[in-house]
Structure 1
């Protein structure tokens, strides 16, 4: 243990303990929190099934930074490097297009065997896997509709794909001993104002009912449904709106996924957590950073992230909330993007845990809003960074920006050698 890190930590502990905050216990709790790290940051959402297929469904990745992963082996190596710089043991989130197989197989024909290399790798790494059907970037999604498509044959294709995805998720959970969350998001919607908003939602509801008809052990797989406000090509109407999925999820006991970038540009999701927690058995978060539209920027330590962390901690929701990341930026080093976003998400949770929550709640209950405001403001400058540095050092990962030199070395030794090859 570095002496400066240990010394700063001990001084910080004294300040926090004056308010009854047990820092050592908090760090032990932090170790148990798993962030689901999205694989698609590493290769710009290309996947391996259909490498020549253009991105669709309102998804766009900008930038041409060298070194994007082009094979499953490269992507797993990049994920290993990123995880070596992030404190804690976490999960990796896969999309269906990341199947690792030599077979020519379409989405509706996918089986667990097509992901066996990912399962074997996850066992070695000691991590869990989450999963997502890929309802975009496919010939059968070209017109912007999948599970709500008016053509029964196309709709059935996507239903079968989602059924297959649930079975793959269950296999992940059974093999790895960590419950897999399989999340369904579809791009369905209209660019301009529709006449009939009801019929597509009726078709979507029927499709979901068929997908979820097969009972799967919840210890192996949990289902989630993800809403969206708008996207490129669906600016006027999205079939799977927040209201639709909130109703469906509550009625059918599914996780409701809240993506930080899927609401109005000035609308935060932190305040929604306590409301949904009253009516659901669990939540799924996709932590992202919107800018102007659902552009999925790398997560930074902004006000919204801090508020999400506070809501999870203050309301004791970490035990029922699955936290995943969803951003992709090809304008910067992709491994650095993973590290920045994941470390910030963990930092936000730590920062929230280092606040005097019970004291603040008691002051609020007694109507002492002066104390509430004063303490909330003063704790903004408390030395949580010293605690974070100690946690990183204890977990064997670089302290502060020291991780960046590791990424730069990897870029020179590995990533740049891919460029132009």
Structure 2
């Protein structure tokens, strides 16, 4: 029997693929699910149970949450990365790392085939295929849904014919939950003018009294919450819990797909939005103006390339090196105030706070120069403008 690794989620598309491979192609199928923080232990158990019921020969859960943070999320924090100034790249970042982990597993067991359930319409098919071809080039890629052009109803009919009866009714909203955010898709996101209703979001408002948080950063990484030191992954999970109660981090992202079409997706991402904004404020106090300007440009490229399935390009390691270097003084605490549906930054405390320099204070006295120095600087600073505008009379 030929060996196939199936990127398995337990949904309709991957269930259809699993039954097709085992019953029609008689393959030895290894169903693999990659946990990047979007599944509870109970959900993972149910997914494994369903995989074996549908014919999986081997099932494996691979937990890469810590690796995902170390190799990706911390760089999204360093860069304050929000695609189109809105979206924290929640699902797109996770898909890349899930794809890489699937490919590495397939290579380790010398699988002849790698299978995924993507259609031919979205971004994920590109992320999967690129990672598979680069990391496990000897494995042939099979995509039953894309290759056979089957509809959702055809998938349901096929499974029923195979004696498999489950509740395959499509939920009103498509939810993809992850540690860096949860995407929400529905009929409203297919339009350009409608907002998602309150009940579309998986986490509902349950806290209305304002609260103040203190987030501690060390060299750009979040390491403490309200005076308690903790692992960065645990801190993100805790912030998701706290911020979710305030319904913080909700929005709709409008962007360009890799395929060149526009798309809309709703999301809730309390932890990522709070951390990114808090980190950015701390950077404003501790980095030089040129660090901030160059970081903005490189971080935008990093987020774009990550979204566009280019994580494995060596330029990403180059940008990561720059981002890491920029964080040497991004250390301190940031106060954040939470309200229902929004939050605001209060201020920071850092040993590297350039506002608290003894040399000069903005708008106040300073010891670095006197009035003559200021006048001379201003005169030279405006010199080129004076030269340019001196020709106006001749025109």
Give the structure-1-normalised TM-score. 0.24
Larger radius of gyration: 2
* RCO comparison, higher one (Cα < 8 Å, 6+): 1
The answer to which structure has the higher helix fraction is 1
Higher-strand-fraction structure: 2
